[in-house]
Amino acid sequence: MPQDSPADSPAWKGTPVTNTLVVFDLDGTMIDTAPDLIDSLNHTIAARDLAPVTFEDLTHLVGQGARVMIRRAFALREAPLDESEVEPLLARFLDHYSQHMPGKSRLYDGLTDCFDRLEAAGMRLAVCTNKLEQLALPLLDKMHLTKRFAAITGGDTFPVRKPDARHLLGTIERAGGEPARSILIGDSINDIMAAKNAGIGSIGVTFGYSDVPVAELAPTRIIGHFGELTAELVRTVIAQASTAAR
C-alpha cells in the first residue's frame, strides 16, 4: 500500500486512493524574499524621489503582484501616480529584481526537509503565487526548487489570480491533482481566501508577510515552522475540509 494511502487514517475509510497535492504560496511562505522586494521597490520609487519603504511597510504592499505593489507604495507615500507611469516603473522594478535574483532571499527553515518528508509519503507539490511568472520561475530555478513541483503558476498564468478560486483550481488541474485531495499552504489573506473560495483546506504560516495575525484569517490549521508540516497534518486538513463541505 502506498504511504499516501487514506487507509493510514480512520478519517479516510472508504475514500478512493489518489495522489495528494500540497500547493504552496511563494513569497512569505516558501521563501523569505522581503529583502530583495524592498531593495527593488525602493530602487523603483527612487525614480520619483519617494522615501524608501521598510519591512513594516511591506506587509501592506505585497500580495497582488509588482504593479499593485508599486501603486500601493505611491499611495503609502501619498504621491500622485499617473497610470501612464505604471508600466515604465514596472519595467524598472523587473529589471532590478531580475538582475539581483536570488539576492538575499532564503528558504524558510525546515522547508527542504518538509518537501522530502511529504514526497516520501507519496505526496506531490505545486506552487500557486501571485508573483509574475517571469520572476517566480527563475527564482525557483536559482533556488534549486523547480524540479520539486508538478506545476508552477504565477499571477499572470491565468486571467485571474488569488484570491480567485480559479487560480488555485487551475494550478491543481495543471498538477494533475483533485481539489478534494489538495490543500494550500500560505501566509496571507489571498492564500486563505483562495482556498476557502475553492472549497479546500489551508494551512497558514505565522512567519510570512500578512498584515494581520494569520489566526485572524481562519485557515484550517496554523504552523509556526515547517517541521510541523507532516503528511499526517496534510491528511487531517483534507479530512476536515471534506467534512466541512458536506
| Per-residue confidence (pLDDT) for residue 201, from 0 to 100 | 98
| Per-residue confidence (pLDDT) for residue 68, from 0 to 100 | 87
Q: The C-alpha cell of 207 is what? A: 512567519
* Per-residue pLDDT tens digits for 177-236: 999 999 999 999 999 999 999 999 999 999 999 889 999 999 999 999 999 999 999 999
* Per-residue pLDDT tens digits for 38-91: 999 999 999 999 999 988 888 778 767 788 889 999 999 999 999 999 999 999
Strand residues in the chain grouped as ranges (E) = 21-24, 31-32, 106-107, 124-128, 149-153, 182-186, 201-205, 221-223
Strand partners, 205: 223
pTM of the model: 0.87
What are the catalytic residues? 25
| pLDDT above 70 coverage of the chain, percent | 92
Compute φ and ψ for 173, nearest 5 degrees: -65, -45
Structural domains in the chain plus CATH codes: 6-32+105-245 (3.40.50.1000), 34-100 (1.10.150.240)
| Per-residue confidence (pLDDT) for residue 99, from 0 to 100 | 93
Mean pLDDT of the chain: 90
